[in-house]
């Protein structure tokens, strides 16, 4: 019984060392040149709006978010009908619609996360 416990312990320790993750050969480079580009549409009563957030030269869009806002930048109800990066990643395009019954006048704000990229 004692020998079995020692064998199980030895197998457990061997399994832990065998499952240890491999050490990367080179450190990860991470993201450089992180920047958030914010663009807003005019504040008016247009039901549909489109905003394009352009990344600075040499940077590419990693992701984006949007908000439908009133004149004080309080959040309104809205839906996005399109939200995608450009084919080359240089900008992000968002189409949205105001669904708020509180305020027919609104603006669309897009926040695009950009970072350095090499081709």
Q: What is the pTM of this model?
A: 0.74
Q: What is the DSSP letter of 21?
A: P
What range defines the domain where residue 84 resides?
32-116
> Distance between CA atoms of 34 and 37, rounded to whole angstroms?
10
**The total number of structural domains that make up the chain:** 1
Each residue of 66-114: pLDDT tens digit?
999 999 999 999 999 999 999 999 999 999 999 999 999 999 999 999 9
In a domain, 21, yes or no: no
SS3 (DSSP) at 31:
coil
Does 10 fall in a domain? no
Q: Is residue 99 part of a domain?
A: yes
Any domain includes 13: no
Cα–Cα dist 32/114, whole Å: 10
Q: Which two tokens stand for residue 112?
A: 């695009």
In DSSP terms, which residues pair with 61 in a beta bridge?
Answer: 114
Any domain includes 9: no
State the pLDDT at residue 81. 97
């Amino acid at each position: 019984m004692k020998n079995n416990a020692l064998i199980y312990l030895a197998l457990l320790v061997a399994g832990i060392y065998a499952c240890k993750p491999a050490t990367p050969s080179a450190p990860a480079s991470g993201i450089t040149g992180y920047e958030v580009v914010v663009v807003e549409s005019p504040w008016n009563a247009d039901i549909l709006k489109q905003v394009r957030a352009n990344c600075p030269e040499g940077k590419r869009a990693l992701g984006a978010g949007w908000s439908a806002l009133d004149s004080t930048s309080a959040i309104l109800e809205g839906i996005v009908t399109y939200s995608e990066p450009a084919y080359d990643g240089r900008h992000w395009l968002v189409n949205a619609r105001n669904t708020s019954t509180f305020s027919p006048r609104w603006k669309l704000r897009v926040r695009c996360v950009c970072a350095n990229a090499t081709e």
